[in-house]
Amino acid sequence: MKQIFIIGHGGPDKLQIRESSDPTPSGDQVRIHVKASGINFADILARQGLYPDAPRIPCVVGYEVSGTVDAVGPRAEQSWVGREVFALTRFGGYSDIVLVPEKQVIAKPDSLSHEQAAAIPINYLTAWQLLVVMGSLKPEETLLIHNAGGGVGVAAIDIARHIGATVYGTASSGKHPFLMQRGLDHAIDYRAKDWAVELDRLTDGRGVSLIVDPLGGNHWRKSYQALRSAGRLGMFGVSVATTSKLSGPLRLLPVAFGAPLFHPLQLMNANKSVFGVNLGHMWHETEMLAGWIQILLKGVEDGWVRPHVDKTFPLAQVGEAHTYIEDRKNIGKVVLTA
Ligand SMILES: NC(=O)c1ccc[n+]([C@@H]2O[C@H](COP(=O)([O-])OP(=O)(O)OC[C@H]3O[C@@H](n4cnc5c(N)ncnc54)[C@H](OP(=O)(O)O)[C@@H]3O)[C@@H](O)[C@H]2O)c1
């Protein structure tokens, strides 16, 4: 099999393709011949040495794949063999063959390509947890999605449109026409303007009901301030760390020092709530995730879950794929193909 290893912390040159013999599934494992692997921003943070949850290097990252099952372990259901599936992988997804516990495998709907299926698990589960499970978004409410043009951002737009809420989003200006056509009500160019001032203007000073913020650091403070009464802030990433001029893990310092501290009395008196989401810490809750996936698959059937694959790269061109995302060119998902 072919796998992409992170061989050191740094630029895309730290990604290396290696070949080894095909693994044999054991226990409840299912072996998938991978057609498509989703890339997530966490993979880039892992390569840069900024992702505490990443395995020790050298390692193979990758949280999601789609492909065909060709073998199963003795405790897995034999009927998986030959079926087209997609799966959550606790790393190892940057590969043309993966072994996955059966409970993390889902039958792929015929209506989705493998590339589209690989774009579902992380983006849509994260967005679902943020908007619905913890964010309790209602049709009459307003939502601000930061990084609205990224994979999670586009998934969040789909879910917010389905709920019927009014959606604001921050993204690079070149992405605005696509995002508006996709369902965003108001696009904010946060790279050219202070997004908080712009949001204040657009909402006549009221603020919004829910903000989902993967930027981190001081943005969390600004997002909290931009909530209206009964508002909720969902924090789920630290994208700003990658822009710091510091080196190595020191780049997390602006995130740590810029982050707000929330006092219970302050929350109480402001009528606001804050919560965090890290899907990578939900592996003990696979039944809960499976329930959310079933709702999202119904969304595929009903047409409101529409995974958008912006670009695909062959596995061997993974460095170019990372550069494409780091250059902020992607709208929605970038996928590796095997
Ligand atoms: N906690 C969780 O469970 C969880 C799960 C998934 C993702 N996340 C987090 O959510 C964020 C988005 O992830 P994703 O996979 O949806 O992203 P993605 O598809 O890789 O998109 C990244 C986009 O983010 C924007 N961005 C903002 N700051 C950036 C920076 N410093 N460098 C490069 N791009 C930057 C860029 O678009 P614009 O410049 O146009 O905005 C870029 O195109 C990341 O912080 C990620 O770690 C968290």
Residue 251 has pLDDT above 90, yes or no: no
271, amino acid identity:
N
Query: Is the Cβ–Cβ distance between 227 and 272 less than 8 Å?
Result: yes
Region of 120 please: left (phi>0), alpha (psi -120 to 50) or beta: alpha
Decide whether any atom of ligand 1 lies within 6 Å of the 42 Cβ: yes
Overall average pLDDT of the 304-333 stretch: 97
Decide whether any atom of ligand 1 lies within 6 Å of the 237 Cβ: yes
pTM score of the predicted model? 0.97
Q: How far apart are the first and last CA of the chain?
A: 10
- pLDDT tens for each residue of 178-206: 999 999 999 999 999 999 999 999 999 99
Decide whether any atom of ligand 1 lies within 6 Å of the 278 Cβ: yes
Residue 71 has pLDDT above 80, yes or no: yes
Decide whether any atom of ligand 1 lies within 6 Å of the 330 Cβ: yes
Region of 149 please: left (phi>0), alpha (psi -120 to 50) or beta: alpha
Indicate the SS3 state at residue 181.
helix
Query: How far away, in angstroms, is 150 Cα from ligand 1 center?
Result: 6
Decide whether any atom of ligand 1 lies within 6 Å of the 171 Cβ: yes
Exposure string (b/e) for 279-318, b if CB count within 10 Å is 16 or more?
bbebeeeeeebeebbeebbebbeeeebbbbbbbbbebebb
Question: Can you tell me which atom of ligand 1 is nearest the CA of 327?
Answer: 33
CA distance 187 to 91: 34
CA distance 190 to 132: 25
Give residues with Cβ within 8 angstroms of 245, minimum separation 6. Answer: none
Question: Can you tell me which atom of ligand 1 is nearest the CA of 279?
Answer: 3
- pLDDT tens for each residue of 131-183: 999 999 999 999 999 999 999 999 999 999 999 999 999 999 999 999 999 99
Residue 249: asked if its preceding bond is cis (omega within 30°), the reply is no
Give 51's pLDDT tier (boundaries 50, 70, 90). Answer: very high
CA distance 152 to 308: 11
Q: For 26, how many CA atoms within 13 A lie in the half-sphere containing its CB?
A: 2
Decide whether any atom of ligand 1 lies within 6 Å of the 279 Cβ: yes
**Helix 151-163 and helix 121-128: axis angle, to 10°?**
50
Query: How far away, in angstroms, is 208 Cα from ligand 1 center?
Result: 21
68, amino acid identity:
T
Beta strand spans in the chain (E): 2-6, 15-19, 29-38, 64-72, 84-88, 97-101, 105-107, 142-145, 166-170, 186-188, 208-213, 227-235, 272-276, 309-314, 333-337
Decide whether any atom of ligand 1 lies within 6 Å of the 335 Cβ: no
- pLDDT tens for each residue of 263-307: 999 999 999 999 999 999 999 999 999 999 999 999 999 999 999
